[in-house]
Chains A and B, each alone.
Chain A
Amino acid sequence: MISTMTAALQAALSGDSRRPRQLLEIHFPASGIIYLSDQPMGVADGLDHDYLPLVEDWGSLSFSTGDSKARDNGLIRQCSITFWNGGTTPLSDHFIANPVEATEVLHYQWAMGLTEADKFLIDRFRIADPIAFDEASRLLTLDLVSLPYLWDVPVGNRLLQADWPYADPADIGAAIPVALGSPGRIKGLKARVAKGCTLASSVLTTTTTLDVQEDLDTLGLPPSGALQIVSEIVNYTGRTAHSFTGCTRGSAGSEAAQHLRGTELVEHISDHTFVFCEGPVSVVTSVQVKGYPAPDGIYTVDAAANPARVVFSEQPYYERFSAGSRFYEMQFDSTGAGNTALWPTYAYDEDETATGALISYEYPALVITQTDTNTDQGQIRKVYLSVAAFTVGWYAVDRVNVEVSGLGVIGQLTRPDSADQVGIDGEVDVDHGHLHSTGAAHYHSYTGPSISTNNASHAHSSSLSGVESIIPGTIDGYGAPTHIYAYNVDVTKLIVAASPAGTVSRQLSIKGSNQGVGDVTIYVGGTVFPVYQITYAGSFDTTINCALGYDIYIKVRKAGVVNGNCYIERLNMICTASAGIDANVTGVQASVTNPGSVAGQGADNNDDPIKAYDDVHDLAEAGNRSLLINATDNPSRTIVDLFDLTPAVNFDWLWFTGRTVTLRYVNTGDENKDVYILHAHFQIEFAPKEIVYSDDISAEIVAARTTPAESIEFLLTAKAGTAGELLDDASFSATAASHSALNYQLDGLLPGDVTVREAIKNICRQTHSRLFTSAGLVRLVEKTITPPITKALIAADGDLQLRSITINKQPLTEISNRIDLAYDYDQYGDAGYKATVRAENADSVSNYGLRYLPDNYQFDLIRDADMAAKVAAYYLAVDGQPATWYTFNAYLPQLTLEPEDGIQLTANFHGLTATPLVVRCLERRFGSGKNGQINLITITAEKHNYDEADIFSVYAAFAPEILPTEVGDVVNELDHLANIDLSIL
């Protein structure tokens, strides 16, 4: 309802007799204002200016859509006014001197007898092209259009190359959307991106010329600069069309790497820029690269910029988990407190080449700790504690518990079972072609499992013999049985020098017989006798332990008997070399217990062939290692136990840090076995992270502007250039308050390439609002089902023109009694609308059948379910049943009516008694003195809910015979009568 009309003018227009006048002001930018009407008026009549009587025909003022029943009737009002184009300065001359587009026309309503202050601005207009001038009749017709005519400007700016010279060509010219509220995830436009190309050939780390497949001139890469290949930065000092030259590999702290043909190269820039939308934007969050979270630290967000943007300091990439698995052996780092096992490092230190850590009854606890902090390498899928153990001998009762700190005992090592016991003999293949000092057939005896080693250089373990040679001499009896005469005479002989390095013990084996009377005394020692002294009365066969570090002499004395004999039958030096085996065990273990003997001749003390001390060494040489296990009672294999820790780890790479594993020998059965822990580690199956580069950047946006009223105001003023004072503050404020009470808020994007007018129409549609111009102002009102009644029009009182009522029933094809309102539109992906809310009018469905127009209710600016439900309820009330439109003519007293006003219509002839209606369209047919026509206002008003009683009354009066007896039949009949002008009845 217009409130700006003066009371004097309202009074002047309200009587049955009145003197209305239309006035026109044409505001030319250069020529100034020209005042026009259809008859002379001016200062003498109370106006401030004289008006030239050049208007021939005022025409009519209508809405551009031409469909007066359209609920979202167009914003633009238009009329055509015809002028007399004569005189010394025809009106058309002004359009030569003045730009038509900038010329404003103000159309006033006035009445004779009033003052300038009583002029009522009907509306503001612009002149639409083209201007037609009829020379024959000297008439000029101007098409006037209201302010919304100027709103055909795009909502958003475009990504221009002038502003973004390094934008992706695919995005140059793209329209930048305007964000409202929280539109969710939206895609960024590539405003500054690195140009890319691909290697034409594989390159090494030292390659300084990189050939590429693309034409670099076409791509427009600079003559020098930096490139990024995977994680390597390459500086180049020159380029040709297809290669970069003068390359410095591994620049900027990166590492030079080999790259395969086809690898992508991209410019190395630090301002990869992606713009999202106009705002103002308050928050840009959850930045993603191709749907994956962007790594922290490589981008910055500038929400305050317009448009809001995200700038990456390096080529955007994302990390994702590979579909395939990788396996990682996480080694323990140190021996933990409480360890009692032998050689614990052998269980985890890969540099240690020994067999393994040893736990046993005496050394029960192997405690090893993982101390390093392991970096997150991907998504953990499975975690095992892996323990490889070998047991010397099988056991049935004792056990080895496996303990993990924080978890306690998680299991036991698997014991060898009968299947692991090899019950056959074993021998070493000694029929090999190595050299032996004996040169004859011989054998090595072994104990325990056989050994297989890849370390050819090793010493025998304990009881290795033959490390020292007897110095040949002339002592009687050495080497062959002989005798010495030693009555009161010492026979002294140096038989061996001091032991060589590596000798750990030595024994002198001596066998002989004493002949005749008297004892024989044998002294063994150094130069000072005796170290060892042995006296025999008869034969003797003994072994003397000899200390190391001195030469060994032997002195034999026959006491008391002249020329008595003493026969020395055997004299052997048994030396023991260093103990222990320094070997890399690859499978089973064995120890060699072949005692050697002093090199030389004959047999050792076991009657075995005498061999050189390095015989076994030779055996270990290549080609001499074939091994056949023939006999053992020990387990023959290493057992690997896996203990599943996946639930305990719970995908956390930090779980391992500080974690201690204890393998504890529990001697319950007193079996006392040696358990070698060859290797223990965490075995981790994980999905590794992959780095993927992409310019597909998205982010979630929150814009500061959310309400329909402020959004429309922004579009009108900031985008369409409408002066703020032309917006009707009162109606905007009232609508904003109403929307606030409903908790209405817009959450979506206005595409940058739609016009302001289209965008406003969209907003109004989704908030059941309406924007129109009236009295020279832009007004925004909320459309409600039952607006307050502003006027009661009564036909009998002369408020309507005689015989002017036309009644139209809405066709059933236009109704929708089930509404699935789609909302929460996916602005980023292809999901479309992600939610719907249903509203249904069961009565309407029962009466008219299911009427369903789902495409009419797709609202991309709504994301809130509660708002969606309210909007759906509104449209169900409006569209759920067929409406009835009443069109009639009224006179100037109704000039203050506006669209969406509520009125009551009483017209007994049509069965209307204070029927509430909503004004949809107001069309003005201007009267004038020239054509003698009265001013009329054609009002089209809607009655939302189809009311059969209204129609019945019409039928009852004129065609009672077609009245059906069932309501359903009535409706069916009325379907065929849709849009029939009932006023003819």
Chain B
Amino acid sequence: MAAPKFVQGESVLQFSKGLRYPLSKPIERRQALDRDAGGGLQVEDLGVTIRRRTLSFTNLPLADYTASINWYENVAQGALNQFTYHDENGDTMQVLWTSSVYDFQETAYQKFSGTIEIEVVG
């Protein structure tokens, strides 16, 4: 299992630790359902498929923590800029940082734990 990596141009954030299990890769097919008077379903496919990843880390070292803050604030700038995500299998995809709040907690001395929400956009 490779450690996740963020890449945008020259900027690279290579986490030193891998993701914490269980890994979550939800896919949402956006559709509207309604119950008609005959008891059947009326379905409208609204044309949107949403792919999200939740990246959970435990006990990240200070360097990873500092680098991830820098990425959030200056490179990705929250959800503003896309970047390339290299997952645990080495697959890449364009994503946006969708976490509205960066909140890694220091669970031990200079050890940080938290999650990052990203959404596949490409």
Interface residues of A (CB under 8 A from B): 16-21, 39, 41, 112, 795-804, 891-892, 907, 909, 927-930, 932-936
Contact = CB atoms under 8 A, between A and B. Distances in A.
B25 to A, nearest CB: 21
A471 to B, nearest CB: 153
A934 B31 CA distance: 8
B43 A927 contact: no
Given A16-B40, A16-B42, A798-B37, A932 B30 contact: yes
Interface string B38-80: 1111111111100000000000000000000000000000000
B77 to A, nearest CB: 14
B122 to A, nearest CB: 12
Interface residues of B, number: 19
B36 A802 contact: yes
A936 B36 CA distance: 11
A929 B45 CA distance: 8
B33 interface: yes
Nearest to B33: A934
B98 to A, nearest CB: 16
A932 B38 contact: no
Contact of A801 (B31, B34, B44, B46): B34
A929 B36 contact: no
A39 B48 contact: yes
Contacts of B41: 16
A112 B48 contact: no
26 contacts: A16-B42, A18-B43, A18-B44, A19-B44, A19-B46, A20-B44, A39-B46, A41-B47, A796-B37, A797-B38, A798-B37, A798-B42, A800-B36, A800-B37, A801-B34, A801-B42, A802-B36, A803-B37, A892-B44, A927-B32, A929-B47, A930-B48, A932-B30, A932-B32, A933-B32, A934-B44
A927 B33 CA distance: 11
A795 B48 contact: no
B36 A891 contact: yes
Contacts of A909: 37
Contacts of A39: 46-48
From B33, B46, B47, residue with most partner A Cβ within 10 Å: B46
A932 B46 contact: yes
Contacts, number: 78
A391 B38 CA distance: 119
A891 B42 CA distance: 8
Nearest to A933: B32
A803 B37 CA distance: 7
Nearest to B38: A798
Contacts of A930: 48
A934 B37 contact: no
Given A927-B32, A929-B30, A933-B32, A18 B40 contact: no
Contacts of A795: 37-38
Given A39-B48, A933-B32, A934-B33, A798 B40 contact: yes
A927 B46 contact: yes
A795 B45 CA distance: 23
A934 B32 contact: yes
A927 B42 contact: no
Which has the most chain B C-beta neighbours within 10 Å: A909, A930, A932? Answer: A932
Contacts of A936: 34
A798 B36 contact: yes
Contact of A18 (B39, B45, B48): B45
B47 to A, nearest CB: 5
Contacts of B37: 795-796, 798-804, 907, 909
A907 B33 CA distance: 22
B79 to A, nearest CB: 12
Q: Which 6 A-B pairs have the closest CB atoms?
A: A929-B46, A934-B32, A795-B37, A798-B36, A929-B48, A17-B43
A797 to B, nearest CB: 6
Contacts of B42: 16-17, 798, 801, 891, 934
A934 B46 CA distance: 9
B38 A796 contact: yes
A20 B46 CA distance: 7
Contacts of A17: 42-45
Contacts of A798: 36-38, 40, 42
Given A19-B47, A41-B47, 15 more contacts: A16-B40, A17-B42, A19-B45, A19-B46, A20-B44, A39-B46, A796-B37, A797-B38, A799-B36, A804-B37, A907-B37, A927-B44, A929-B47, A930-B48, A934-B32
A17 B42 CA distance: 6
A19 B39 CA distance: 21
A16 B47 contact: no
A181 to B, nearest CB: 49
Contacts of A891: 34, 36, 42
For B31, B43, B44, the residue with the greatest tally of chain A CB atoms inside 10 Å of its CB is B44
Identify the interface centre among A17, A18, A800, A930: most chain B CB within 10 Å of its CB. A17
B78 to A, nearest CB: 14
A19 B45 CA distance: 5
A16 B43 CA distance: 6
Contacts of A803: 37
Nearest to A889: B34
A465 B118 CA distance: 160
Nearest to B41: A16
Nearest to A936: B34
Contacts of A907: 37
Contacts of B31: 932
A886 to B, nearest CB: 13
Nearest to B44: A934
Contacts of A799: 36-38
A935 to B, nearest CB: 6
A801 B36 contact: yes
A800 B41 CA distance: 11
B27 to A, nearest CB: 15
Contacts of A797: 38
Nearest to B48: A929
Contacts of A932: 30-32, 46
Contacts of A800: 36-37
Contacts of B33: 934
A17 to B, nearest CB: 4
